[in-house]
């Protein structure tokens, strides 16, 4: 659910214009030029977060509900793919979430790329930065295998860190496994991942490829969100980041990922 798109939703400034460009791309299904072109060469990642926050506020005003947060660019392989050198984050909305085995509406996507991840769901708030690793461990209710269908509203994925942050960390859709696993029953750092496209292995990795440990990524996120006054809350889903390279998807593609200790999750782009 989104509000009607009008230019009057935004102040007439570069941040507002960039936010509007991304929303138009999403609404029209036509990717836009990189938003970094609207700013001088000194503009940094904070400009990207200002743009992201403008659009998140519009979505919330339009009735969308937040289901959690996603961490991007945690894998060195994905950083190399996109030419960036640090993680970022975006917002997950309830209508982005699908269960294992779902058929995902391709009409909602522009340039999908799929990656396998560990998702965790919180049972306690994380609202007192800096957070300790044990504190994050205690806050997690359970883990799930997950697929993120990343997407970009920017032409040809021609992105810098500013662009992807502005574009809600290139968020698209996400798919969750349906069998919760307690952290006492799995070693997330040692978990091995294998992802297939139409039955052929196309991406591999391990929990240690996600900032050293998926919960280290969650800890980074918890601290980063507290700095912005939007802390993680009980019930939030955290997509902790890719365990291996992203793979482009097309209509009809079937993806499945197996993560040792967590199980299998699959989806089809339909």
Convert the pLDDT of each residue in 118-149 to its tens digit: 999 999 999 999 999 999 999 999 999 999 99
Query: Which domains are present in the chain?
Result: 65-269 (3.90.850.10)
Query: What is the separation, in whole angstroms, between the first and last Cα of the chain?
Result: 21
In degrees rounded to 5, what are phi and psi of residue 12? -85, 80
Tell which wins on pLDDT, 82 or 186. Answer: 186
pLDDT at 255 over 90: yes
Convert the pLDDT of each residue in 40-91 to its tens digit: 888 889 999 999 999 999 999 999 999 999 999 887 777 777 677 789 999 9
The pLDDT of residue 40 is: 87
pLDDT at 234 over 90: yes
The pLDDT of residue 1 is: 42
The pLDDT of residue 244 is: 93
Q: Is 181 left (phi over 0), alpha (psi -120 to 50) or beta?
A: beta
Tell which wins on pLDDT, 85 or 257. Answer: 257
Q: Which of 36-45, 151-160, 231-240 has the lowest mean pLDDT?
A: 36-45
Q: d(Cα 76, Cα 86) in Å, to the nearest integer? A: 9
Q: d(Cα 256, Cα 267) in Å, to the nearest integer? A: 7
Tell which wins on pLDDT, 11 or 233. Answer: 233
The pLDDT of residue 44 is: 86
Q: Stretch 18-34: mean pLDDT, rounded?
A: 96
The pLDDT of residue 2 is: 46
The pLDDT of residue 78 is: 72
List of residues 6+ apart from 142 with CB closer than 8 A: 120, 121, 180, 181, 182, 183
Q: d(Cα 86, Cα 91) in Å, to the nearest integer? A: 17
């Amino acid at each position: 659910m989104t509000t009607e798109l009008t230019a009057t939703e935004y102040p007439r400034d570069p941040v507002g214009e960039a936010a509007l460009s991304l929303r138009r791309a999403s609404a029209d299904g036509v990717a836009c030029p990189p938003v970094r072109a609207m700013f001088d060469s000194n503009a940094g990642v904070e400009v990207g977060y200002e743009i992201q926050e403008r659009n998140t506020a519009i979505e919330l005003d339009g009735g969308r509900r937040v289901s959690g947060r996603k961490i991007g660019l945690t894998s060195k392989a994905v950083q190399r793919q996109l030419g960036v050198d640090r993680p970022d984050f975006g917002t997950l909305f309830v209508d982005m979430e699908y269960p294992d085995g779902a058929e995902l509406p391709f009409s909602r996507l522009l340039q999908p790329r799929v990656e396998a991840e560990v998702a965790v769901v919180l049972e306690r708030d994380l609202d007192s930065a800096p957070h300790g690793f044990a504190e994050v461990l205690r806050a997690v209710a359970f883990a799930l295998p997950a697929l993120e269908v990343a997407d970009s509203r920017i032409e040809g994925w021609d992105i810098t860190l500013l662009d992807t942050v502005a574009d809600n960390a290139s968020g698209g859709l996400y798919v969750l496994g349906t069998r919760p696993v307690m952290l006492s029953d799995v070693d997330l750092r040692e978990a091995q991942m294998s992802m297939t496209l139409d039955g052929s292995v196309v991406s591999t990795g391990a929990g240690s490829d996600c900032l050293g440990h998926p919960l280290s990524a969650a800890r980074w996120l918890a601290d980063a969100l507290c700095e912005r006054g939007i802390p993680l809350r009980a019930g939030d889903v955290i997509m902790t980041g890719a365990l291996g390279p992203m793979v482009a998807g097309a209509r009809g593609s079937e993806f499945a990922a197996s993560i040792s200790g967590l199980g299998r999750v699959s989806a089809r782009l339909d």
